[in-house]
Structure 1
């Protein structure tokens, strides 16, 4: 009961990832702008802006360009895809494949404008980890002595 709850909290904390951008977007350059949802439909959003050298690639097979935004203190990156057609997101989704990501990225000076966003993913690790071979983590047989003095 109480021990199981603290074990779960420990694991949630352990696998958490809170990434900030390696090159931060300036609050001073964040402005209100219109984001185009579909032809004739826009929404007012907070738009972040920055200029710098980033890895980019053209993806003609997907009808898009790709931009790599690295996270600070991590090897993790976010790859953003921008459809060539401003309203071509559904076409891009249809063409998306692992093979399509065999891209040649080059570092270039680019201006980046993105709507402010927050990503959050909640995953029940009790369902995911057993599929990866982690069987005892959520049982009394769990041995987390490397993380805590208590077994």
Structure 2
């Protein structure tokens, strides 16, 4: 049986990964490795990852963002899809708008014709969940980019 990281250890490793994610390509790869290990720790735990949804979702979102920056869009899309499933399993529909926005940003890089639909779906979800600030930010982005 392998050692399971504590909540505090996961948070510290996530912060270290965040610092690496702001560096060079090689440092971003280190961040991704750290995030993968943290997420693996959650997934291999006896406790369902849904019970750690806040941390799991944050880490998966961070990793999807950096993977997108590195143009590893298929991996980013896969992690974001897994993130959406976990959000729904945890009953955290209010976080779904952010996840759909991330998917729209990924698609904006890879498949321009699909991104407008995803951005509009994200806006609808954000409006439904009364997430005014995030709704306004995405709306301004869509208008600025003419998506």
TM-score clears 0.5: no
Normalization by structure 2: what TM-score? 0.25
User: Greater helix percent: which structure?
Assistant: 2
Higher Cα radius of gyration: 1
User: Greater strand percent: which structure?
Assistant: 1
Which structure exhibits the higher relative contact order, with contacts defined as CA atoms closer than 8 Å and separated by 6 or more residues?
A: 1
